[in-house]
Chains A and B, each alone.
Chain A
């Protein structure tokens, strides 16, 4: 790295995220990529509900804050009337994979020309650590005190795998933010998704495996190890769909 300067798209004050929270890192990555693409002013962040809503105070670019799970619907309305803007929704796992499952799948299936950044930390962080649709089998949460039991709660939802079964999406990928390598891959993936959107290629989806030190009851450093041993083996990182590669 020859040079790194913090983006003006994030506030000069510290974020509202807990120490070591990778939401914060994801937000920073998006801001870096938008700067790099010269899209800082043209971008519009559709902010969802959950810890992601902390970006209302942290995000320095244009944004619309929307109802729980509805970001892909709101983004549809935005992009259909203002196609020239670079539009992205930033959603957590409860927001996207539980209450907003219809909205994300339908927007993806219509091939709406915007990007969804999906932060998957396997819990409802903001509300205090309840079971999310992505909570791992056996994972203890405040609503699965003996660990998630698939016989009554099902299995963790794999959104990249689901969305990549659809024909319309242009790019579907998952990255883990618990290592420098994963972070750099994620940055490249976000950049690619935004570029495809700018080319009008349709729906792009980037899942970022993140953490929740507070509700996992682990130190930030321990969460990175936990992700290596628990999260990543189940939620396999990789490119699930790429219209440029698939077209070859």
Chain B
């Protein structure tokens, strides 16, 4: 059932969330994600949902915490500096085992950085979305369509795991207009609300106490943290997503996600025309990281891994290195601060590496 539209990435995410059954959004204005709250401010009331423009990033994530506790599919979005402010609330979501979806349309950093696109929040998203040592599943789409598809299913993961799900994009993907095929509206009823939720709509007859808390005894907290660790491990075998591109005979393998993967593909096609055997591994889940595909490359053939990111220094490098295990060199190429990766720049950098020229590192 196709519903094709030409949409900005941010608007496509917002519409996909509505169709996924999201009925609550709270957020605070920050560039380059403003289209998401703007769109949802009129769209959510149309479907009986609620939109709140929070007084702060901190308040917004806690509004999401409240709505999520009622079993409502809830969303917030922001960009780097705002995600830092939301860190407390994201940690509480994980602690109270609440599902919610958080979108980061990232920009140049650190600090206020720039409002131009950048992939500067990889480490924050994958290693420490907040204090306390928890993780969220991190999806990194590289097109409006893929963003739609991932957002559409994000709450299914979040509710399965009772854990927040994080969507990491950048200002380019949030703001480019592309054709998207929108999925149908998920019609969720009161009976679909998870049993742990604090609403009583799903079972008004229930006469026992309902409660959710991020506070536990030491022993309980240790047990829950250990269980979370097992869950993260299970993601590695069950939920890793990545794309392989021209990988079979590749002597050089680019690892790039999101916008960097798109620019890299163009460069790889051009290099292939000239006979260079270059391929690509594109992580779609950044956490869990696609470790196995990188680990299991045939390093008797692979001469180098090239980490292309729109940030400096490269943030994915260590995750790649832990799989390469010094079996070949790892090169890096990137732009940062809101300066964009472009076709020529990536092509020339890759050419320099694969042609045996100077090591750019």
Contact = CB atoms under 8 A, between A and B. Distances in A.
Q: A–B direct touch, CB within 8 Å, in complex?
A: yes
Interface of A: 41-42, 44, 46-47, 53, 56, 60-67, 70, 73-82, 85, 102-103, 105-106, 110
A2 to B, nearest CB: 28
A56 B66 contact: no
Contacts of A110: 52
Contacts of B62: 66-67, 70, 73-74, 77, 103
B211 A78 contact: no
Contact of A61 (B24, B55, B74, B209): B209
A76 B52 contact: yes
A108 B327 CA distance: 61
A64 B63 CA distance: 12
Contacts of B64: 77
A49 to B, nearest CB: 9
Nearest to B98: A64
Interface stretch (B147-155, B176-184, B212-220, B256-264): B212-220
Contact of A75 (B56, B66, B209): B66
B55 A102 contact: yes
A47 B89 CA distance: 15
A65 B96 contact: yes
A76 B131 CA distance: 24
Indicate the size class of the contact surface on chain B. 35 or more
B198 interface: yes
Contact of A80 (B52, B65, B68): B52
Nearest to B60: A73
A76 B198 CA distance: 14
B198 A81 contact: no
Given A63-B213, A64-B212, A80-B67, 8 more contacts: A64-B69, A65-B96, A65-B215, A67-B89, A70-B89, A74-B63, A77-B68, A106-B59
A65 B214 contact: yes
A62 B210 CA distance: 5
A182 to B, nearest CB: 30
Contacts of A44: 198
Nearest to A68: B88
A85 B70 CA distance: 11
A76 B65 contact: no
A103 B70 contact: no
B63 A77 contact: yes
Contacts of A65: 96, 211-215
26 contacts: A56-B215, A60-B209, A61-B209, A62-B209, A63-B211, A64-B66, A64-B198, A64-B211, A64-B213, A65-B212, A66-B62, A66-B65, A67-B65, A67-B214, A70-B62, A73-B59, A74-B65, A76-B66, A77-B62, A78-B70, A80-B24, A80-B50, A81-B23, A82-B72, A102-B59, A103-B62
- Which 10 pairs from chain A and chain B are nearest by CB? A77-B66, A74-B66, A77-B67, A106-B55, A65-B213, A73-B62, A77-B63, A70-B62, A80-B50, A73-B59
Contacts of B211: 56, 62-65
